[in-house]
Amino acid sequence: MTDLYRLLPEEMEEMVIELGEPRFRADQILYSLYYKFPKNISEIKQLPKEFREKLLENGFNIGSTKEVHRVQSKDGDTTKLLLSLNDETPIESVLMQYKPKKFFGHPRSTICVSTQVGCAMGCVFCATGQMGFERNMKAEEILGQVIHFAKILSEKGQHVTNIVFMGMGEPLANYAETFRAIQLLTHPRGFGIGQRHITISTIGIVSAIEKLAEEKMQIGLAISLHAPNDKLRQMLVPTAGPDSVEALIASGKKYFLKTGRRVTFEYALIEGINDTPEIAEELAWLLKDNGSHINLIPLNPTAGEFTRPARKNVIEFERILYNGGINCTVRVEKGTEISAACGQLRTDILEKYNNTIS
């Protein structure tokens, strides 16, 4: 079976013509997929019944994600979904909403999508990293998470404003499917979101970063650094190479030169591990005159042995970087209480959900 959400608009046109239909049928399908969010082909009412039947006979379907469980933060700004894919594989996705700066208008609605079931990178402080790796997700499965939230938002008169590839898995380790998903999301006849409203977060696959830079797209890039030297980084990221810090700094510069987009280095602050003033000084020296941005992320609670630093230590770390001429911010926390924040996604919610209905 081929999911209609997998096809780029040009491929959709080729498909309808091969089936003996006029070209405009492709636009009818695309409009329905991205504005009406049908659950199956029979719901695409713009199409004649005979053509809908022809699509089914030729192996096409709509592989909508199935919502298994939903949990929302107390302030209502963060929603985490447990979704079931076509093969019943469970994954988690998150909606983060930020109130408009004025008293009116739509909130900024950011969807955090997953690209893999589990993760092979093995970061010792990340819940997903401790799951192990099960499989890559297909482009239509990645897109399906956005579509699911888009439908929820449309029912409230709202819409998706931003998409971050920061959910379960390493996006650039699933490069082909991640990039196809981005093409579908940004195509003006597809989901139609602006390229600058998408950010990919990577633990640092240098060859893939360089490949992405050559795609001539205006996608934001966030590189998870977490340490200013290789010894410490290899302790936190076991899959990191012996010269990963230098390689990542260089790849970030190349990405900026190719795209003009400033690179963000993400840095998870872990108490007693990488949050000392000495390490802050080392990081400031490493990134001096680099032109990049540092996003400090106080570690979110997971089942691991690591803990987040005291607030005063976070402020001191930020101060040292700022005094060293480094552009930096402390990430605004969203969804920590419902395990929807950075590093917390892990489908153990499925077990809790099953226990409540058994």
Known catalytic residues are 92, 342
CB 108 within 8 A of CB 100: yes
E strand or H helix at 326:
none
Torsion, CA 131, CA 252, CA 207, CA 195, rounded to 10: 80
C-alpha pair distances (Å), 223 with each of 138, 227, 253, 267, 294: 23, 12, 12, 9, 10
Whether residue 177 contacts residue 197, with contact meaning beta carbons closer than 8 Å, is answered with: no
Per DSSP, the chain holds a count of helices (H) and strands (E) of: 11, 14
Distance CA 116, CA 141 (A): 10
> How far is it, in rounded angstroms, from Cα 173 to Cα 232?
23
Residue 96: partners with Cβ closer than 8 Å, 6 or more residues away: 77, 78, 109, 110, 112, 334, 335, 340
